Amino acid sequence: MKIVIVGYDQMFSSLITGSLESKNKVVGVFRHERVTIHPFLLFFKDIFAPSKDFSFIKSLRLKEIKARSVNSKEFYKEVLKLNPDLILVGSWSEKFKKPIINLPKLGTINCHPSLLPKYRGPNPYMRVIMNGEKETGVTFHLMDENLDTGPILMQKKIDILQGFKGDTGESLKNRCCAVAKIAIAELLTSMNNEIVIPTNQNEKESSYYPQISEKDILIDFEKTSVQINALIRALTPWQPAYIPHKKAFLQVGSVKFFENKTKFHADKYKAGLVLKKNKNAMWILTGDDKIAKVSKLKLFGNFGSLFTPFYMNFCVKSGDICK
């Protein structure tokens, strides 16, 4: 089959590699930088600071589609000339319009890193860990004009590593992309050799999660140590978590949990109680009566690093509640 691949980062390269390894022809690729960076600036970036995506497609000598959007006239004309059987999509921010979806002979297929219809939306790697899920996966589905709602062609399950040293957002992403590379080769081989029947998604089981918000990155010490640890792991390495303290926010560098051997226990004292502090760390009571040592703290703001020592010395006291 002749395939055009649209995407970003690891999922993009996984789909390209899997397609080539299954003896299909990648006739064109469209990288996300074409959408996010002005062509004039991208020209110089490709020369002096090329991205992994650019270096990868150049190493394979793949034809790059030059347009400002998947829904642009330029993209439509370029793909029309290439006459692909399929468009494959892996990690993309734009909503595809119907003329583009219907452009290839067989259809447009998206690879979504969750077990659809659960965890539709832009951040499933983070969300499944935050919510304490035991498994996730990758789903290949036909695209329609909505987000992540089209009929399913194939799914592969992935166990989420649990515990305090379990999966981070990054490690789960790496494993999903590795599975996607193998799965797309399997799916394309099946499509070449037999009829693959799409299965409609069960809307009763669907869930959608939007972009991570400011509220999502705040540590709630009323939760258990397991839940707090899951939040930290989910955000790693893309986004630090923050502690709300009075009217300020402190960025957290690391968190460790200890058994509570003090006289301050969660059945009598509020979770979020600051038991002690030093110039760069706080020991805080959690909802399950553990002690969280949060360290490498930095005050939020343009001059946070400069004012953190002052804030920790004079504004944070034992007995404060982080809420």
pLDDT reported for residue 25: 98
Helix (H, G, I), strand (E, B) or coil at 231: helix
The domains located in the chain, with CATH, are 2-205 (3.40.50.170), 215-314 (3.10.25.10)
DSSP-derived letter for residue 297 is: -
DSSP-derived letter for residue 97 is: P
Alpha carbon 56 to its chain centroid, in Å, reads 21
pLDDT reported for residue 251: 97
Sequential DSSP letters for 199-210: B---GGG--B--
Q: What is the mean pLDDT of each run of 10 residues along the chain (323 residues)?
A: 97 98 97 97 97 97 97 97 98 95 97 98 96 98 95 98 95 98 97 92 96 95 97 97 96 96 93 95 97 96 90 95 93
CA angle 44/50/56 to nearest 5° reads 135
User: What is the Cα–Cα distance from 295 to 250, expressed in whole angstroms?
Assistant: 10
Residue 299 contacts residue 308 (beta carbons within 8 Å): yes
Contacts of 61 (CB under 8 A, 6+ apart): none
Alpha carbon 257 to its chain centroid, in Å, reads 26
User: What is the Cα–Cα distance from 31 to 12, expressed in whole angstroms?
Assistant: 8
pLDDT reported for residue 271: 96
* Residue 248 identity: A
Helix (H) or strand (E) holding 186: helix 169-193
Q: Which two tokens stand for residue 257?
A: 């949990």
